[in-house]
Amino acid sequence: MRHTPHRSTIIACFVAALLPLAAPALVRAQSALPDKYEFIAGGFNATFDTVFGLKVTTKNDVALVDFERDLGSPSKDTVLRGSAAIRFGRHQFRAAYFETGRESARTIDRQIVWGDQVFNIGASVSSQFSTSFPGVDYTYWFLATERTALGGTLGVTDFGIKMGVGASLNNMSQAAQVDTSAIVPLLGLEFRARPAGWLLLKTGGGYVNDFNGTSVWRVAAGVEPRIYKALWLGVAFDAIKFNVSKSSALFDLNAAGSYRVGGVQVYARLGF
């Protein structure tokens, strides 16, 4: 059956009149997705577990040093952490940054080997271990309903690391350090749930392994109640760990060991 031009015009006007009424329903159907624009800033109460040693080309084994136990490096610190994101439909792009910095000094009660340096009992040892984590990632939200959303994430972090150990004993001093960075990829998933309009639950994780001595994993989970309009308050647990072997292909670091940062983050999120 053919429509007359007049009848087609009436149908078009009717559909146009319904669109404003349907728009809120369409927005609600996508409510579990992240807001188009998101800005996050908060404090990260981080706990560290740092075991590293310098690589020595003439040796197969790397003598590892526990920075917290052996060198008295602080095992906890509060650092600032922030991120910003923008979403186009189901495509989200995000940039984040945080850094840590720790220094310590103590008289050691056992012999410590750091690269080709040997620090004997009684030496006054100072240490430094700082890291920076600028990163960007892309998430495609392949599942999006009114209550839940699930996305796959591909990201990279420029893992910057500075670490050094120096010692003095009987007017003699020794020191060795590392100051470098490496691009670290990460593949993962993110899940969001909106059990109520004022409450958001989030969880996610990522993992990468080059099967040549390097692995990186990350897990996170958080709860966000709405405080006022576009302002949300979040509490989340987050942890990331790097494992680097002497023969690592992924990390071009003159060091080997493991480094874990984990803890609770309290933050504010502005989303609109």
pLDDT at 58: 64
- Computed on alpha carbons and rounded to an integer, the radius of gyration of the chain in Å comes to 25
Residue 66: band (very low, low, confident or very high) from pLDDT cuts 50, 70, 90: very high
What is the DSSP code (8-state) at residue 231? E
Q: Rounded to an integer, what is the distance from CA 77 to the centroid of its chain? A: 16
Q: Specify the 3-state DSSP secondary structure of 72.
A: coil
Q: Which of 258, 256, 259, 268 shows the shortest CA–CA distance to 114? A: 256
Q: 31-271 has which CATH code?
A: 2.40.128.90
Tell me the mean pLDDT in the region 172-182: 78
Kindly compute the dihedral angle of the four CA atoms of residues 59, 241, 79, 39, in this order, to the nearest 10 degrees. 140
Is 176:164 a contact under the CB 8 Å cutoff? yes
Between 104-108, 202-206, 211-215, the lowest mean confidence (pLDDT) is in 211-215
Tell me the mean pLDDT in the region 204-225: 92
- Residue range 3-33, pLDDT digits in tens: 444 444 444 443 344 444 433 433 344 479 9
- Residue range 32-54, pLDDT digits in tens: 999 999 999 999 999 999 999 88
Distances (CA, A) of 220 to 34, 198, 264: 16, 21, 10
Q: What does the alpha-carbon distance between residue 46 and residue 238 come to, in Å, rounded to a whole number?
A: 9
Report the predicted TM-score, pTM, of the whole model to 2 decimal places. 0.82
Tell me the mean pLDDT in the region 244-265: 84
